[in-house]
Copies of this chain bind each other. A is one copy, B any other.
Amino acid sequence: MTRVNNFSIEVATVNGSGSQTANNVLMRAIFQMGVPVSGKNFFPSNISGMPTWFQIRLSHRGYAARKPETDLMVCMNPESAAEDIARLPPGALCIYDESLKLGNCRQDITAFGVPFQELATACCPEMKFQRLVKNMVYVGVLVRLLGIEMSEATLALARLLKGKAEALNHAAMDAGYQWALANLPDQEELRVQREPRSGARLLIDGNTACALGALFAGVTVVGWYPITPSTGLIEGLAEYAASHRLDPETAGPTVAILQMEDELASAGMVVGAGWAGARSMTATSGPGLSLMTEFIGLAYYAEVPGVFVDVQRVGPSTGLPTRSSQSDIKLCAKAGHGDTLHINLYPATMEECFRFTYDAFDLAERFQTPVFLVSDLDLAMQSWITNPFEYPEGNLDRGKVLDEEALKKIQAWGRYRDVDGDGIPYRTLPGTPGGKGAYLTRGSGHNAQAVYTENPAEYTEVLLRIQRKILSAASVLPQPIHLECGGKRGVLAYGSSDPAVMEALDILREHHGTRLDYLRVRALPFSETIGGFLRSMEVVYVVEQNRDGQMAALLKEFFPKEAPRLRSVLHFDSTPITAQTIVDQILSQEM
């Protein structure tokens, strides 16, 4: 039976070998044919010479979660070839570098050797480029083999490369195509077919989406320190800012991006800039976040806005820097010694990466507190199809800031006074003229007037107000999304587990007759809607990608009455969770 637009391709190669362009051309060509597609790059934590895998999933139903089985393998890496072949399901297709001599290693798959070196040499006389264009040869082979439209592949290539590089690579692609035409039998197992596009769609990664969110939110000061997988966010922001955030008068940049000496400094400069009135942010990952702990506590207690993006990788410690997890949930929720609770946003889609980052700046200034955008490597560095982002209309919400005019009208101002009864005090910005509004910010005990205090009642007043303030954010944060089916059992998930959950729900319904409600949590502190959902269910499976059930722990803390009915579905082996994992774990717990 032919599988049309519903299978997966994997390219096993060596990092640093330049396969990225080839893989992108391949994926984009399919994408341009209107086929829902998603790409995942499994790359090592080193710079070159180690095995790396790129998986492209085609799914006419739009499933974008990781698919564990590979239907078509491209074997380019001698080191991993044996294992790569071994894990193919029976009936799979494989093309491999002829020199690997893999022809007979499995009888239950169809494998074709391709003379990559020969083809590359023929179309590219310059030795030093041969290694690179070899990759484009397999694209050509696949174009032919799968029925991808060559015109789309050509277009995709033209988007990525120009001039001589384009020509060379095109020749290589064509060589692959021609060779396949001449040497490979037709196959009817796997086909790519044009689909009618449902509206405009685009391919993007989460880091870029977050960068755009910051760009449109008017970020002005960025302190950062390189760390995988967050580096791309800042580098993307810098690139976009260079064309889209220039001062109309001077053409100078309107965002100051500074690589700091470490993450402590990054956090510190974010806090300093936020205090001074900038929209400030940093992006980091687990180890960096650990180092920011003290500054985050200061920002919380001194009530200084700042946006902290945590692109989660696999911990603990250095862990697997190039793999994904959801294991900083606890740290993002409560970083700091003493009593702390932070506003966290959990995007699950590219649109949310964009919009939540945008919102994070408003929330940080509105609630005068650090706000965490909790991303992960899977969202941030993989390729996702999305609808174009909606423009965030309206004014930037700069929160309660008293300027010179406002100060003039006010009799007695106190930095930490709860004037409006909403727990949110008014702040002033350094440099405001008029001789009023100056105060000294401190992380030590202070009263409503921002004056140093060791008085228990004054200390408590501030701490309780901050608690109220943060908890009150729940009602304006992105509300959970409820996919109802009217049953008494449900799934709760967040972030990058979403695609796998969506697929799992279909499998459960279609293959197991199990219908489950689904609630996707999008922010901390938790909305009351979550409580309502939990109360209405007999059992709720909390799906997350960490060992300890970190989100489940937060839910148990804030909804203790519902705690007995929570069950964890956990996946934490460093790969993105799959639908089948969820299905299996749920079925095994359904008695």
A interface with B by C-beta (< 8 Å):
44-45, 286-287, 289-291, 293-294, 297-298, 300-302, 314-323, 325, 327-328, 330-331, 334, 336-341, 442-445, 454, 456-457, 459-460, 463-464, 467, 546-550, 552-553, 556-557, 560-561, 563-564, 566, 572-575
Contact = CB atoms under 8 A, between A and B. Distances in A.
A573 B337 contact: no
Contacts of A561: 563-564
B328 A547 contact: no
Given A546-B339, A556-B563, A557-B557, A444 B289 contact: no
A338 B321 contact: no
Closest 10 pairs between A and B when the two form their complex, measured CB to CB: A315-B338, A286-B337, A317-B443, A316-B338, A563-B563, A456-B573, A560-B563, A290-B294, A339-B547, A553-B557
A301 B320 contact: no
B573 A460 contact: yes
A566 B560 contact: yes
A301 B553 CA distance: 21
Contact of A550 (B339, B456, B463, B464): B339
Given A557-B556, A560-B563, A317 B336 contact: yes
Contacts of A339: 315-316, 327, 546-548, 550, 572
Nearest to A316: B338
A337 B456 CA distance: 33
A336 B315 contact: yes
B318 A456 contact: no
Contacts of A300: 316-317
Contacts of A553: 553, 556-557
Contact of A45 (B319, B331, B454, B573): B454
B45 A314 contact: no
Nearest to A565: B560
A316 B340 contact: yes
Contacts of A573: 456-457, 459-460
A314 B291 contact: no
A484 to B, nearest CB: 25
Contacts of A291: 291, 293-294
B320 A444 contact: yes
Contacts of A445: 314, 319-320, 574
Contacts of A318: 298, 442-444
Contact of A289 (B286, B337, B454, B546): B337
A249 B290 CA distance: 44
Given A290-B337, A556-B563, A301 B314 contact: no
Given A297-B290, A315-B297, A560-B563, A334 B330 contact: yes
A567 to B, nearest CB: 9
Contacts of A322: 454
A317 B290 contact: no
Given A290-B336, A298-B317, A456-B573, 19 more contacts: A45-B444, A290-B294, A290-B337, A291-B294, A297-B317, A298-B316, A300-B317, A301-B316, A301-B317, A315-B338, A316-B336, A316-B443, A317-B336, A327-B338, A339-B546, A339-B547, A456-B575, A460-B573, A561-B563
A338 B334 contact: no
A564 B556 CA distance: 9
B293 A317 contact: no
A340 B287 CA distance: 13
A54 to B, nearest CB: 15
A574 B445 CA distance: 10
Which has the most chain B C-beta neighbours within 10 Å: A467, A548, A550?
A548
Contacts of A289: 337
23 contacts: A286-B297, A289-B337, A291-B291, A291-B293, A293-B293, A298-B316, A300-B317, A314-B445, A317-B336, A318-B444, A320-B454, A322-B454, A325-B338, A328-B337, A331-B334, A331-B336, A331-B337, A460-B572, A467-B547, A467-B548, A553-B557, A556-B557, A564-B564
